[in-house]
Amino acid sequence: MNITILGTGNMAKGLASVFAAGGYDVILGSRDVARAKDTAKTLGGRVKGDGLMAAAQKSEVIVLAVPFEAAAETIAAAGGLAGKVLVDISNPLTPDYMGLTVGHSTSAAEEIQKLASEAKVVKAFNTVFASVLKGGGKVGKTPVTVFVAGDDEAANKTVETIGAKSGFSVLQSGGLKVARYLEPVAGLNIVLGYGKGHGTDIAPTWLLAA
């Protein structure tokens, strides 16, 4: 199965590596085809690069790994993403990273669903630091939690399978509206990592009795 990741930055590279290790073929999509191909070459044989539109056409699952502010232009350049499972990993951060620009009555995920109205948007991976991906999705030996939230059960299950095969601990968290809670969790992660000096080899999880 192919997974397309739009973007060539820290999260795109980290997710490409863990997905490839999980047995997936990955296509990085970039505004700059040469950058996509060059970046892919550094990530091993299962990762290829292409333009945004061509990359999007190669997979049914698309991970949007661009700044929230770039979501609209990226979705448009990728052709709208109708029918795709669209994984939103974004955190809509203020310039100082210490606040969110949307929340309470909406979320980045819900805004992205409006932009890609015919895609099945699933919130996931937004609470995972890129440096944790460099460590294979683990803190120490413990797989980090990926919270999954979306309105399409089959799409949620697809993302759960990808996360589990790639070595994460996956927690189904509800409908897309739950992104209103998941984005602040990432905000707390950033405050603890940068503001309180714990660094970025940390990850939030949930203790479950069963």
Ligand X SMILES: NC(=O)c1ccc[n+]([C@@H]2O[C@H](COP(=O)([O-])OP(=O)(O)OC[C@H]3O[C@@H](n4cnc5c(N)ncnc54)[C@H](OP(=O)(O)O)[C@@H]3O)[C@@H](O)[C@H]2O)c1
Q: Which parts of 99-128 interact with ligand X (CB under 6 A)? A: 126, 128
Helix (H, G, I), strand (E, B) or coil at 183: helix
Residue among 68, 107, 144, 183 that touches ligand X (CB under 6 A):
68
State in angstroms the smallest separation of the CB of 119 from ligand X.
Answer: 16
CA-based nearest residue to 138, from 168, 180, 160: 168
Q: Which single residue is written with the structure tokens 């669903």?
A: 113
**Residue placing its CB nearer to ligand X in the complex, 88 or 153:** 88
| Closest to ligand X by CB, 85 or 112 | 112
Query: Contact between 66 and ligand X (CB under 6 A)?
Result: yes
- Between 193 and 209, CB nearer to ligand X: 193
Closer to ligand X by CB, 126 or 145: give it: 126
Query: In the complex with ligand X, which residue's Cβ is closer, 74 or 156?
Result: 74
Alpha helices in 51-173 (DSSP H): 52-57, 71-77, 108-115, 130-134, 153-165
Strands 61-64 and 47-51: unpaired
Contact residues for 195 (Cβ-Cβ < 8 A; gap 6+)? 98
Least distance in angstroms from the C-beta of 165 to ligand X: 20
Q: Applying CB under 6 A, which part among 40-48, 86-94, 97-105, 166-174 lies near ligand X?
A: 86-94
Q: What is the token pair recorded at 76? A: 């448009």
Count of C-beta atoms within a 10 Å radius of residue 86: 28
Q: Supply 67's token pair.
A: 């700044």
Q: What amino acid occupies position 40?
A: A
Query: According to the binding rule CB under 6 A, does residue 91 interact with ligand X?
Result: yes
Map the footprint of ligand X across residues 6-65, applying CB under 6 A. Answer: 7-12, 30-32, 35, 65
Q: Count of residues binding ligand X (CB under 6 A)?
A: 23
Radius of gyration of the chain (CA): 16
Q: Where does this chain bind ligand X (CB under 6 A)?
A: 7-12, 30-32, 35, 65-68, 70, 74, 89-91, 126, 128-130
